[in-house]
Chains A and B, each alone.
Chain A
């Protein structure tokens, strides 16, 4: 029984990471109707940047903040320089650019920082187990951080006029221009925000899975499964989906398929959702006229 409780809690902790990455995917999907395959590699790059800053002797939380800012800027630049010229291009062009971005950032990261697996520090003193050994300090801390980020993003989109303008630009760019919203910049801001959220996820997951250039590959898959499960066009749904996938994955790994086959759970969810309910649990059903 205690084992089960522990698996669920650990699942929630990784689920928070998936939820954050799923949210980043959904944000860009809503604005562009494309899934950014490079979201994971961008987060890995951010985590390496964080490690370099920490190793330079900067206190953890300061490095954390600096990494978020740097990642935000990288996201904005990627949109302005790479995505903007192809914004009206056909779907395949986008897929090509995303795959190119994935390879370039992934290999670039390996080239600059090396391919050896590195330990990444956790800001939460991790030795003493809490709640009678049910949960580690890092699990608790990283869940709090990802939840904090999700709440902040929610408040930003709900209650600020910039957040409202970003939603308007994503839903209806033509009308957004008519009220004076600079739609192109809203898109760039969205990329920046997604990159920043991904950076937080990377920094929170790295102490658990260790840091190497392919760190986010599996996580992106889980996050994508979560986003699909919740509904790829629904941010709240994607977050719930991310948490659900985290718990499911952990339980399946512990009791059903074993750790080696855990990643198949993500693929099974992706295929299952696409076959049974393509719009996800909370997504809108899209009907297109032919």
Chain B
């Protein structure tokens, strides 16, 4: 059985400069993989590379199919949803319209049922249903971004720093919801996160990036327990 996501020798960059120098990493079916590292290590670029937002070299296998070089919209249609940095919600549109766009490519009849599932996971979004996304609080916008991505019914969800700029209590709430999503939906997650402690709690596999290279990889639990790695790379 093929891995949900497998990157082999992934290189990527902006213009002539390379930011990623040959990464190999995996996301298992229904598993959570965390990408950790300092600012500028290439975490965000890795996510952008996987969903076709930057030029890449190497292989990106989604369910065994090489999607390297595909257009972003075609990758999305294959069941890959991305919550980018800056969230990627439609600020000018209402929460409802953001939901409808999330399910835009779907032709099945379970969209309404999925709306209700999102309302159960994110009750606050239901209260804001007719409101413009731009008027939502930061936490609510992050929730909307995740809901919008899940409405694609993705096989794989990319999350770029869901805790960024949010108060600790809201971060706790969002990670709580993500644990529920993981348990209830079976979607695979590739998670980029500054807060290594939180990320390693949720993940089952982790990679540590340093200037575009993977320096440490392994089961999340082991990395969390390894004092040397924690001290030298994760800083806690």
Contacts and interface: CB of A to CB of B under 8 A. Distances in A.
> Do chains A and B stick together as partners?
yes
B227 interface: no
B73 A181 contact: yes
Nearest to A175: B88
B217 to A, nearest CB: 27
A183 B72 CA distance: 10
Contacts of A172: 88, 90-92
B90 A175 contact: yes
A25 interface: no
A171 B132 CA distance: 13
A168 B73 contact: no
Interface in A11-47: none
B154 to A, nearest CB: 11
A179 interface: yes
Contact of B93 (A168, A181, A182, A183): A168
Identify whether the interface residues of A are mostly helix, strand, loop, or mixed.
Answer: helix
Contacts of A176: 101
A161 B88 contact: no
Interface string A172-206: 10111111111100000000000000000000000
Interface string B83-124: 010001111110001001110110000000000000000000
Interface stretch (B59-67, B74-82, B192-200, B202-210): B74-82
A179 B152 contact: yes
Contacts of B77: 180
Contacts of A239: none
Q: Which size class do B's interface residues fall under? A: 20 to 34
Nearest to B105: A180
Contacts, number: 61
B104 A175 contact: no
A125 to B, nearest CB: 44
B91 to A, nearest CB: 8
B11 interface: no
Contact of A171 (B51, B93, B105): B93
Contacts of A179: 76, 101-102, 104-105, 148, 152
Interface string A76-104: 00000000000000000000000000000
A200 B53 CA distance: 39
Which 7 residue pairs spanning A and B have beta carbons closest together? Answer: A180-B105, A180-B76, A177-B72, A175-B88, A180-B77, A177-B73, A171-B92
Interface of A: 161, 164-165, 167-168, 171-172, 174-183
24 contacts: A164-B93, A164-B101, A165-B101, A167-B93, A168-B90, A168-B101, A168-B104, A171-B90, A171-B92, A174-B84, A175-B89, A177-B71, A177-B72, A178-B51, A178-B81, A178-B84, A178-B88, A179-B101, A179-B102, A179-B104, A180-B73, A180-B105, A180-B152, A181-B73
